[in-house]
Amino acid sequence: MPLITSLKGRKINSYIHSTWMLIALVIVLIIPISIGIGLVFKSWSLLSSDSIVTLLFSSSWKPMSGHFGFWPFIASSIIITFFAILIAGFISFFSVIYLTQYAPPLFIRIVQPIIDILAGIPSVVYGVWGIIAIVPWVQDTVAPAFGVYSSGYCTLSAILVLAIMIIPFVLNLLIEIFGTIPIALTEASLSLGATRWQTIKFVILKKAFPGIVSTMVLGVARAFGETIAVLMVAGNVVASPKSLFDPAYPLPALIANNYGEMMSIPKYDAALMFAALLLFVVVLIFNLFARVLIVRLEKKYY
């Protein structure tokens, strides 16, 4: 920033910058609103002709004849997200207890970069890794063990890849949540004669509970919107999966796979916009819920 010496110049300069700051703020505030309105507007032709219940719960997906039932995609998304957060949550939960309560500080300093690296690996790389590691494993080892045939591109692979992807995200949040619990609580509990494990079980987990719940909810929101990696391993067949070895077709994959032909079939664009709207609304609701919990948690303890 060049040095401006005259008073008038400084005033004008300050005015210009302040105005730009305000404009930038307005832009940032307008984005979410315009995304919401834009998606509703673009999916209106579908929303006005079909009832929302049919759209959400009908399984008949025949774009050519104008039947848009999103249930196969929604079911796929729900199943994949649910099991992924179950696995990721389990591993992260026990890791965070070890890392924050038992492990020496040096150990955390080793693990933290590992989590950061895992968190930074792009989605498409997880997808590639899923194809070279998870898919063959599911095909050759897991599926035969259950006595079924699977190409490997199935719900289970998607669940595993997604679970692995969101572990660093969930774990990072959990580490922060556990970091907000005052050390005095632990000290008081230990000095009263409780063992380490009792302290963790009755004091720390109790205090961290709302934070853990909100972390899991954020994890769900994250998993729900994950696109490329899941798209690469899920198999993408339009049918709600009957078993974990059936292919799945989650909502984001639907959008990413079909945007190319959306203009050639009537109402197809509205259908894809509706899928995006669903994603947007679901993710916002989950985030809202989690953030409100966190804000409450902070108010309670500070």
According to CB under 8 A, which residues from 255 to 274 bind another protein? 255-256, 259, 263, 269, 272-273
Q: Residue 27, Cα to own-chain centre: how many angstroms? A: 25
Minimum CB distance to another protein, residue 113 (Å): 6
The answer to whether 11 contacts another protein (rule: CB under 8 A) is yes
Least distance from another protein to the Cβ atom of residue 61, Å: 18
Q: Per rule CB under 8 A, is residue 91 in the interface with another protein?
A: yes
Residue 44 contacts another protein per CB under 8 A? no
Angstrom distance (rounded) from CA 129 to CA 123: 10
Whether 76 contacts 59, CB under 8 Å: no
Question: Per CB under 8 A, does 68 bind another protein?
Answer: no
Report 176-205 residues binding another protein (CB under 8 A). Answer: 176-177, 195-198
Query: From the CB of 85, what's the least distance to another protein, in Å?
Result: 14
> Does residue 86 interact with another protein by CB under 8 A?
no
- Return d(Cα 174, Cα 208) in angstroms, integer: 9
Q: What is the largest CA-CA distance in the chain?
A: 83
Q: Which stretch binds another protein (CB under 8 A): 33-41, 48-56, 139-147, 239-247?
A: 33-41
CA dihedral over 268, 269, 272, 278, signed as positive or negative: negative
Q: How far apart are the C-alpha atoms of 14 and 186, rounded to whole Å? A: 50
Token readout for 122 is: 């792009």
The string of DSSP codes covering 80-118 is HHHHHHHHHHHHHHHHHHIIIIIS-HHHHHHHHHHHHHH
Residue with tokens 């720390």: 204
**Paired tokens of 20:** 């730009």
Least distance (Å) between residue 150 CB and another protein: 19
**Residue 14 interacts with another protein (CB under 8 A)?**
yes
14/35 Cα distance (integer angstroms): 32
The stretch near another protein (CB under 8 A) out of 44-52, 117-125, 139-147, 150-158 is: 117-125
Q: Smallest Cα–Cα separation from 126: which of 216, 231, 222?
A: 231
The answer to the question of residue 98 lying near another protein (CB under 8 A) is: yes
- By CB under 8 A, is residue 31 in contact with another protein? yes
For residue 147, is it left (φ>0), alpha (ψ between -120 and 50) or beta?
A: left
> What element of type H or E holds 221?
helix 205-225
List 40, 56, 121, 239, residue binding another protein (CB under 8 A): 121
46 is a site residue for another protein (CB under 8 A): no
Nearer Cβ to another protein (58/123)? 123
> Identity (one letter) of the amino acid at 245?
F
By CB under 8 A, name the one of 86, 117, 148, 192 that touches another protein. 117
Size of the residue set binding another protein (CB under 8 A): 94
Query: Considering the rule CB under 8 A, would residue 1 count as an interface residue with another protein?
Result: yes
Answer for which of 58, 59, 123, 240 binds another protein (CB under 8 A) is 123
List Cβ neighbours of 181 (8 Å cut-off, separation of 6 or more). 204, 207, 208, 301
Q: Which is nearer to another protein, 75 or 279 (CB)?
A: 279
Residue numbers 131-170 binding another protein by CB under 8 A: 131-133, 164, 167
Of residues 158 and 273, the one with the C-beta less far from another protein: 273
